[in-house]
Amino acid sequence: MAVRVLIADDDAAIRRLLRRLIESHADWSVCGDAEDGQQAILKAAELGPDVIVLDLAMPQMNGLQAAREISRALPEIPLLLLTVQQVSQELTKEALHAGFKGAVSKNTGSEVVRAIESLLQHQNFFQPSRKDAYV
């Protein structure tokens, strides 16, 4: 059965790019998308995806706030944080506290597929910032 992914990002171009990346993977499909955190919460409950990709900075409700709500209501769905920031230790800590199982920077889009694969195998995937990678 195909893996169903919900995408939440306020930028339509990013949603299209993520859709292409995700659907280029065999047996994966995007079951829906959302423009903000509120929509992501509603669509998560409505669609029951296997994985949710949430942008950090969205209007109405950001990715961290939406993740808290989704992880309370649907704790079995792994959440991946997507951000323009580097994935620092502080952001990783915040993301874990909000219910995320992984985080990647938008400037490394190819990591999204690797991150989703890890989450589907019940493994966390937090892409280290370049500085942290050499420690």
**60-79 per-position pLDDT tens digit:** 899 999 999 999 999 999 99
Q: Give the domain extent around 76.
A: 3-133
Q: What's the CATH number where 126 sits?
A: 3.40.50.2300
**pTM to 2 decimal places:** 0.91
How many domains is the chain partitioned into structurally? 1
How confident is residue 20, by pLDDT bands cut at 50, 70 and 90?
very high
Contacts of 53 (CB under 8 A, 6+ apart): 5, 6, 7, 8, 9, 18, 22, 79, 80, 82, 112, 116
